[in-house]
A and B are shown apart, each in its own frame.
Chain A
Amino acid sequence: DSGVTQTPKHLITATGQRVTLRCSPRSGDLSVYWYQQSLDQGLQFLIQYYNGEERAKGNILERFSAQQFPDLHSELNLSSLELGDSALYFCASKGLYRNTIYFGEGSWLTVV
């Protein structure tokens, strides 16, 4: 158990809909990262937050957004969903003075 909790574990939704994925980082970890893993793209970095502020942005679509709340949990919002958004979405967290990034078990999103 990495200590990073993601909900929901599985989600099936229709095209055009909007979903929110939630992540609770390890206790005290200020950095939260979001990654997308699809079969043909591998693990792609989406976005990083540090203590509530956006720190880095990767290949995140404009239809996607994220935020980190004062209690350090984070949410990834995916809107106007397309079939190609079907993927495993991972959240990860890191402590301030640690080198290790810990990943959650992911949220499986299927868009039909």
Chain B
Amino acid sequence: DAKTTQPNSMESNEEEPVHLPCNHSTISGTDYIHWYRQLPSQGPEYVIHGLTSNVNNRMASLAIAEDRKSSTLILHRATLRDAAVYYCILRDAVQGAQKLVFGQGTRLTINP
């Protein structure tokens, strides 16, 4: 499984944008970039995924570098409920049922 690198922790203030970086220099052409988050005492929750183009949904935006070796999850206006561990994961698009391999993720703290 291709590896991703994320900062161990980040801190931001409520109602401000948050940019969570992820490096994946060994990404292959068929790897999707997935983001999941895990709130305290809950199971991981899907946030967003993309292949090459930037993606937006109701939760967040995903900005993917042109060379695909890095990506950034953007929370446009953080709330206290966004405090969680965020995981950046690569999944091979060819092997559709492939498991998710979780790293250590980034623990995001939101200050009121």
- B81 within 8 Å of A (CB atoms): no
Interface residues on A, range: 20 to 34
- B45 within 8 Å of A (CB atoms): yes
Q: Which of B34, B46, B97, B104 contacts A31 (CB 8 A)?
A: B97
A112 to B101 alpha-carbon distance, docked (Å) = 29
Q: Which of A33, A42, A96, A102 contacts B99 (CB 8 A)?
A: A33
Given known A50-B97, A94-B97, contact A42–B102 (CB-CB < 8 A): yes
CB distance from A32 to the nearest CB of B (A): 10
A48 touches B43 (CB 8 A): no
CB distance from B97 to the nearest CB of A (A): 5
Classify the interface of chain B: helix, strand, loop or mixed. loop
A102 to B99 alpha-carbon distance, docked (Å) = 12
A103 touches B45 (CB 8 A): yes
Q: Specify the chain A residue showing the minimal Cβ separation from B101.
A: A45
- A104 within 8 Å of B (CB atoms): yes
- B21 within 8 Å of A (CB atoms): no
**Complex interface: chain A residues within 8 A of B32 (CB):** 99
**Chain A residues proximal to chain B, CB less than 8 Å:** 2, 4, 31, 33, 35, 42-45, 48, 50, 55-56, 58, 90, 92, 94, 96-97, 99-106
**Chain B residues proximal to chain A, CB less than 8 Å:** 32, 34, 38, 42-46, 49, 87, 91, 96-105
15 A-B residue contacts at CB 8 Å? A2-B43, A33-B99, A33-B100, A43-B87, A44-B102, A45-B101, A45-B102, A50-B97, A56-B98, A94-B97, A96-B96, A99-B34, A100-B46, A100-B49, A101-B100
